[in-house]
Amino acid sequence: MTDTTHTPTPAHAHSDATTKTWTVAEALAIHNTPLLSLVHQAQVIHRENHQPDTVQLATLLSVKTGGCPEDCSYCPQSSKYDTAVGAERMLSVDEVLSKARAARTAGASRFCMGAAWREVKEGPAFDRVVEMVKGVKTLGLEACCTLGMLDESQAQRLKDAGLDMYNHNLDTSREFYGSVIQTRTFDDRLRTLDNVRKAGIGVCSGGIIGMGERVRDRVAMLVTLANMSPQPDSVPINTLVAVEGTPLEAQEPVDSLELVRMIATARIMMPKAFVRLSAGRTRLAREAQLFCFMAGANSIFYGEKLLTTPNPEVDEDAAMLRDAGLTALKSVHHDASIEASSTAAAHHFAHEGSDGPTCGTCDLHPTA
Ligand code: SF4
């Protein structure tokens, strides 16, 4: 799948990476660099732009699971597919805040809330999400939401409630997008990201590999993200979790080295973004995950489940991070209370299992 015959690109050739206009040919050339040279370049750039040996820990909770009218081919929450995930009631603000407290105790600095909605609609459900965001902020956590499409005024309401980040993935390239989703367009997605940015909320947007796309589609998605001005603050890279009952249930798993290439390419093209190793992590051995960190990943979801798909156990993650000498990143917002929570994370890694964390009994967009 990968041509590795050309000459590696020097790391510092991309020092203007955040402002240049990237082409697919350039991105392909980076992606197809011999793997060890690629990872070396990515690691050099990573160290120039991020604290080494730290990983951001985020916890993801589904506040409204299943019954989504969209037709994303990878998603067990779509009402169009017969999967084990049914429509559930929306969680209460108290239920969500109790999970947020547990996530903080377990060491998360960011708490992400997702709803299986096509779009945000004004009304009691959105009012409740706004209250959740306010509550999460009072706990000293960064707040993130993934709620589907939203307009400018809804983005502003979330910003006013204290929302730090909004996740809305492009999923794949513009060219391949129609093979995966028909109920909304690539441009709809870009519009939502624009509304998020205009409101002053951080943009979290990435995609999924392993849906049958070509390498060219993977890097074309990165080109769209990298050419945003400014570039996204956070870029989740997911590997498909093929769920029974979805149209993509029979897809072969992606080789972990393809994931490493994708992460390294994202790191080189978007040096300042947090690159999140997201869905599909359970299939990776510790060594493969650490190779992803070498390639520039510096954020993970931390909790038992990623929405409706499994995630490594909290204690397993704590052991991996501890054994590798990695520590939890303090909040990028430098809030004193969040620093306290990161200190708790460091304590947790040092005394694995002692806190009995209960975070992460959640579901939602499996690709957030
Ligand atoms: S990925 Fe999100 S928008 Fe798409 S079907 Fe699933 S819940 Fe709905």
- Distance in Å, CA 97 to ligand 1 centroid: 23
Q: Is 362 a catalytic residue?
A: no
- Percent of the chain residues topping a pLDDT of 70: 82
What residues contact residue 243 under an 8 Å CB cut-off, 6+ apart?
A: 74, 75, 76, 83, 249, 308, 309, 366
Q: Identity (one letter) of the amino acid at 75? A: C
C-alpha dihedral sign at 344, 346, 349, 354: negative
C-alpha 344: how far from chain center = 23
Mean pLDDT of all residues in 272-281: 89
Q: Which structure tokens are listed for 136?
A: 């999460």
Q: Which of the four pLDDT bands, split at 50, 70 and 90, describes residue 166?
A: very high
Q: Which of the four pLDDT bands, split at 50, 70 and 90, describes residue 332?
A: low
The whole-number pLDDT of residue 182 equals 94
Q: Is 292 a catalytic residue?
A: no
Q: Which of 61, 70, 83 to mutate to test the pocket of ligand 1 (most atoms within 8 A of CB)?
A: 70
- Percent of the chain residues topping a pLDDT of 90: 68
The 8 Å CB, 24+ separation contacts for 190-196 are 190/224, 191/149, 192/148, 192/149, 192/150, 192/168, 193/168, 193/228, 193/232, 195/150, 195/151, 195/152, 195/154, 195/155, 196/150, 196/155, 196/166, 196/168
The single-letter DSSP state of residue 78 is: B
Which atom of ligand 1 sits closest to the CA of residue 71?
A: 5
The CATH class of 30-350 is alpha beta
- Distance in Å, CA 78 to ligand 1 centroid: 6
Mean pLDDT of all residues in 27-33: 97
The per-residue pLDDT of the chain, averaged, comes to 84
Q: Which of the four pLDDT bands, split at 50, 70 and 90, describes residue 283?
A: confident
CB 149 within 8 A of CB 119: yes
The whole-number pLDDT of residue 362 equals 25
**Residue owning the nearest CA to atom 1 of ligand 1:** 365
Which atom of ligand 1 sits closest to the CA of residue 118?
A: 3
**Residue 353 in this model has a pLDDT that exceeds 90:** no
The whole-number pLDDT of residue 27 equals 97
User: Which one of the listed residues 75, 292, 359, 362 is annotated catalytic?
Assistant: 75
Which is more confident, 149 or 303?
A: 149
pTM of the model: 0.85
Place of tokens 């501890």: 322
The single-letter DSSP state of residue 52 is: T
d(CA 265, CA 295): 8
**Residue 9 in this model has a pLDDT that exceeds 60:** no
**Residue owning the nearest CA to atom 4 of ligand 1:** 72
User: Which one of the listed residues 144, 145, 292, 359 is annotated catalytic?
Assistant: 144
The finding on whether 207 has its CB within 6 A of some atom of ligand 1 is no
Q: Which of 78, 117, 145, 364 to mutate to test the pocket of ligand 1 (most atoms within 8 A of CB)?
A: 78
Place of tokens 């390294």: 264
Q: Which of 60, 64, 68 to mutate to test the pocket of ligand 1 (most atoms within 8 A of CB)?
A: 68
The tens digit of pLDDT for each residue in 293-307 reads 999 999 988 765 545
The tens digit of pLDDT for each residue in 42-60 reads 999 999 999 999 998 888 8
**Residue owning the nearest CA to atom 7 of ligand 1:** 116
Which atom of ligand 1 sits closest to the CA of residue 146?
A: 2
